[in-house]
Amino acid sequence: MIIAGPTGAGKTSLAIGLAELLNGEIVGADAFQIYRGLPLLTAQPTDAEQARIRHHLVGSVDPSESYDAGRYLREALPILRDIVARGKVPLVVGGTGLYMKALLGGLEELPGQDPVLRTSFAGMKLEALSRRLHELDPAAGPTIDLANRRRVERALEIVTLTDRPLATSRTGPRKPPPGVRFLLVERDREDLRERIATNVAAMFDRGVEEEVAALAVEKIGPTAAMTLGLREIQSLLRGEVGRREVIDTITASTRRYAKRQLTWFRNQHDSALVNLSRFSTSREMVEDAMRLLAVG
């Protein structure tokens, strides 16, 4: 079972409720929650939530390490098989579209990182990388976040090594394989915007600044460095910006990210859709999700 959706929508709470009913375990599918040391910043399930239901691939990778969809697939598949072998139901939960697509078989075998290309990319500004990508594959730009250097580099790397448009490496079946249920979680626009603002404020109240300060900058790899809000909080700790400005900036960037996530899932996958804004209790959410998934 796959439970996907934008950040702040309430996937974790819904997934835990479903897992308790279905004798399930949760397998994370989030590019940032995979890292140790940043549970507040990445909105990882709390210790209490993880005590209720066993979680995998959450806080399991050192932030110095690179991580991509290929590695996720290699690590997730044995975990999923083990959960099934023990007679339990795996629930894949997260908001990273490429991880979901990898599990559903929608990604072709992609080339690994090329050290020579990566070295040449390191000496180029983001604007120059984006221009080169546009020259090689004009259609690629609208499909990725051009403000995200890591994603631009990876897209350029794939296009260069395969000598094909990026879109050809992302083609695949829209329908989940037989037996796999796919649930897309969403909220009304204003409800989601308010939840994101509340969540960002709450992580500051809970000590996210101390959390970031405790993580040595030299131990943050290129993938973990793209975690939403990390750079802004580092600037705050250096005294370069004010706290209110950082909170507002992170809230705005998280809202934009949530919009891109929802657009991705709507365009990439056939799924049952549940709008959690329609419910006032967790029980109602879980009951409706069970109905949509035709479970039990």
pLDDT tens-digit readout, 184-221: 999 999 999 999 999 999 999 999 999 999 999 888 99
Cα separation of 41 and 70, whole Å?
A: 24
Cα separation of 249 and 6, whole Å?
A: 18
Number of domains in the chain: 2
Clarify whether residues 8 and 100 are in a common domain.
Answer: yes
What CATH number is associated with residue 157?
A: 1.10.20.140
Clarify whether residues 158 and 144 are in a common domain.
Answer: yes
Clarify whether residues 44 and 141 are in a common domain.
Answer: no
User: Do the domain assignments include residue 175?
Assistant: no
User: Do the domain assignments include residue 11?
Assistant: yes
Q: Which position has the higher pLDDT, 18 or 168?
A: 18
* pLDDT reading at 295 higher than 60: no
Among residues 140, 169, 198, which one ends one of the domains?
169
pLDDT at 256: 93
* pLDDT reading at 173 higher than 50: no
Instruction: Retrieve residue 218's tokens.
Output: 């030299």
Averaged over 55-70, what is the pLDDT?
A: 93
Q: What is the 3-state secondary structure (H, E, C) of 92-151?
A: EEECCHHHHHHHCCCCCCCCCCCHHHHHHHHCCCHHHHHHHHHHHCCCCHHHCCCCCHHH
Clarify whether residues 284 and 249 are in a common domain.
Answer: yes
Clarify whether residues 146 and 68 are in a common domain.
Answer: no
E-state strands within the chain: 2-4, 24-28, 55-56, 89-94, 182-186, 272-275
User: pTM for this structure?
Assistant: 0.79
Amino acid, res. 198: T
Q: What is the 3-state secondary structure (H, E, C) of 27-69?
A: EECCCCCCECCCCCCCCCCCHHHHHHCCEECCCCECCCCCCCH
Burial-class residue 223 by CB neighbours within 10 Å (0-12, 13-18, 19+).
buried
Domain range for 198 is 2-107+180-293
94, 30 contact by CB (below 8 A) = yes
Clarify whether residues 88 and 196 are in a common domain.
Answer: yes
Among residues 122, 140, 169, which one ends one of the domains?
169
In this structure, the chain runs to a length of 296
User: Do the domain assignments include residue 174?
Assistant: no
Clarify whether residues 37 and 85 are in a common domain.
Answer: yes
183, 293 contact by CB (below 8 A) = yes
Clarify whether residues 132 and 251 are in a common domain.
Answer: no
pLDDT at 106: 63
Averaged over 152-172, what is the pLDDT?
A: 79
Instruction: Retrieve residue 62's tokens.
Output: 């050192």
Instruction: Retrieve residue 103's tokens.
Output: 């599990």
Clarify whether residues 220 and 244 are in a common domain.
Answer: yes
pLDDT 10s digits, 100-140: 888 887 665 667 778 888 889 989 999 999 999 988 888 77
Secondary structure of residue 194 in the 3-state scheme: helix
* pLDDT reading at 151 higher than 60: yes
Bridge partners, 35 (sequence order) = 61
Straight-line distance from the first to the last Cα atom of the chain, in angstroms, rounded to the nearest whole number: 14
Instruction: Retrieve residue 275's tokens.
Output: 């709008």
Clarify whether residues 256 and 118 are in a common domain.
Answer: no
Clarify whether residues 227 and 255 are in a common domain.
Answer: yes
